[in-house]
Amino acid sequence: MDLFFIIIISVISLGAVFAIIRFIKGPTASDRVMALDTLSVMLIAVLVILGFLMKRYIYIDVSLVYAVLGFIGVITIARYLEGGI
Amino acid sequence: MNYIGYFLISIGTIFLFLGGLGILRMPDFYTRLQAGTKASTLGAMSSILGIGFLQPEWFIKTFIIVVFIAIANPLSSHALARGSHKAKQMPFLKDEKIGDAYEAVEEKLHKNQKKEDKK
Amino acid sequence: MTNIEIILTIVSLVLLIIAGFFAVLKKDLIHAVVATSVISLVLSLMFYLLQAPDVALTEAAIGIALSTIIFIITVRNTKRFEDK
């Protein structure tokens, strides 16, 4: 069971590394914002899994705050790129 | 119950990995946006629901997180696509005749709106 | 520390250094704002791994929503590209 979660976390980290490479390469600002969005969603999943591994119920709250507030920054940057803020 | 949880977490992990891969490999911005947001939304929802199945006392809170992800993530991706289209981010087109379909639809809507205003 | 925490610490520290260099070196200030947001995201994960969930919660709420909005409004009111 422990090996299962090690594999899970490693595979999600590999996906996060790909998103980081896109964040470094990305030619325009939109690509970087999209990489930020994907990283934030991956972080929500990783935080819930870590809270399960540490057996603390209160640790889920951080993930809940990310799910509620995480999209505000992306929407603000998108409105700025549109020119309508 | 446990096996459902492990199965959902595996599915979610595969989709999160594919989302990261698609974000790296796709040729232009809009396809990258599609790969990144849709696949990662499904992956995160599935793996969080799997944790809820593994630990049944936590099911309500994980379900609330899943609902918020399902509301918020498509919202932000839609705002990002619309904003980059307004900022003249062009798609990668092999055939120049296709043109910008969204622009044409928006002009049509605008004309219809003006006609209704005149009436 | 378990193996999982070691993997996550290595990945997040590398990302932290890269995003810090980005935020300093880029001439387009929108890229710098996005890099600052990534820094706050990863710092939240580091606080979480060091078993301080309250600090991580505050960092999440302030870093990803409030400071991004303030930086964007500042960039809009001044100018987007930095001088050479």
Give the pLDDT of residue B17: 92
Task: Check pLDDT > 70 for residue B93.
Answer: no
- The whole-angstrom separation of Cα B45 and Cα A3 is 22
Give A11-50 pLDDT, tens digit per residue.
998 998 888 888 888 788 888 888 888 988 888 998 898 8
**What residue has token string 């619309």?**
B82
- The whole-angstrom separation of Cα A24 and Cα C58 is 27
Q: What one-character-per-residue DSSP string does C41-75 give?
A: HHHHHHHHHTT-HHHHHHHHHIIIIIHHHHHHHHH
**Residue B97 within a domain:** no
User: Smallest Cβ distance to A69: which of C2, C48, C61?
Assistant: C61
Contact of B49 with B7, CB cutoff 8 Å? no
Per-residue pLDDT, averaged over B62-74, amounts to 90
Give A52-65 pLDDT, tens digit per residue.
888 888 888 888 88
Give the pLDDT of residue B56: 86
Give the pLDDT of residue C63: 84
- The whole-angstrom separation of Cα B66 and Cα B52 is 10
Domain that holds residue A29: 2-82
- The whole-angstrom separation of Cα A2 and Cα B28 is 39
Question: Which residues in chain B are closer than 8 Å to A48, comparing Cβ atoms?
Answer: 47-48, 51, 62, 65
Give the pLDDT of residue B94: 61
B 28-67 → A contacts, CB under 8 A:
29, 32-33, 36-37, 40-41, 43-44, 47-48, 51, 54-55, 57-58, 61-62, 64-65
Number of domains in chain A: 1
Q: Report CB contact under 8 Å: A77, C48.
A: no
Give the pLDDT of residue B100: 67
Tokens found for residue C60 = 């999440």
Higher pLDDT, B109 or B43: B43
Per DSSP, the three-state class of C79 is coil
- The whole-angstrom separation of Cα B92 and Cα C42 is 32
Give the pLDDT of residue B67: 92
- The whole-angstrom separation of Cα C75 and Cα C80 is 6
Question: Which residues in chain A are closer than 8 Å to B41, comparing Cβ atoms?
Answer: 41
Q: Report CB contact under 8 Å: A8, B44.
A: no
**Residue B15 within a domain:** yes
- The whole-angstrom separation of Cα C46 and Cα C4 is 13
Residue B105: count other Cβ atoms within 10 Å of its Cβ. 10
Lowest-pLDDT range, A7-11, A22-26, B4-8, B102-106?
A: B102-106
Residue A64: count other Cβ atoms within 10 Å of its Cβ. 19
Nearest CA-CA partner of A46 in C22, C36, C11, B21: C11
Q: What is the pTM of this model?
A: 0.88
Q: What one-character-per-residue DSSP string does A4-73 give?
A: HHHHHHHHHHHHHHHHHHHHHH-SSHHHHHHHHHHHHHHHHHHHHHHHHHHT-GGGHHHHHHHHHHHHHH
User: What was the ipTM of the complex prediction?
Assistant: 0.89
Q: Mind telling me how many Å the CA of C30 is from chain A's nearest CA?
A: 7
Tokens found for residue A67 = 């799910």
**Residue B84 within a domain:** yes
Banded model confidence at residue B10, pLDDT cuts 50, 70, 90: very high
Contact of B22 with B33, CB cutoff 8 Å? no
Question: Which residues in chain A are closer than 8 Å to C15, comparing Cβ atoms?
Answer: 16, 20
Give the rounded percent of residues in chain B with a pLDDT score beyond 90: 19
Contact of C64 with C43, CB cutoff 8 Å? no
Banded model confidence at residue C1, pLDDT cuts 50, 70, 90: low
Do A and C make contact, counting contact as 3+ CB pairs within 8 angstroms?
A: yes
The one-letter amino acid code at A72 reads I
Domain that holds residue B46: 2-90
**Residue B95 within a domain:** no
Per-residue pLDDT, averaged over A4-10, amounts to 88
Q: Which residues pair with C81 in a beta bridge?
A: C28
Residue B7: count other Cβ atoms within 10 Å of its Cβ. 13
Within 8 A by CB and 6+ apart from C7, the residues are A6, A9, A10, A13
The kind and range of the H/E element at A82 are helix A60-82
Give the pLDDT of residue B97: 61
Number of domains in chain B: 1
Task: Check pLDDT > 80 for residue B90.
Answer: no
Higher pLDDT, B1 or A80: A80
Tokens found for residue C56 = 């991580």
Give C10-60 pLDDT, tens digit per residue.
888 888 898 899 889 888 888 888 898 889 888 988 988 888 888 988 888
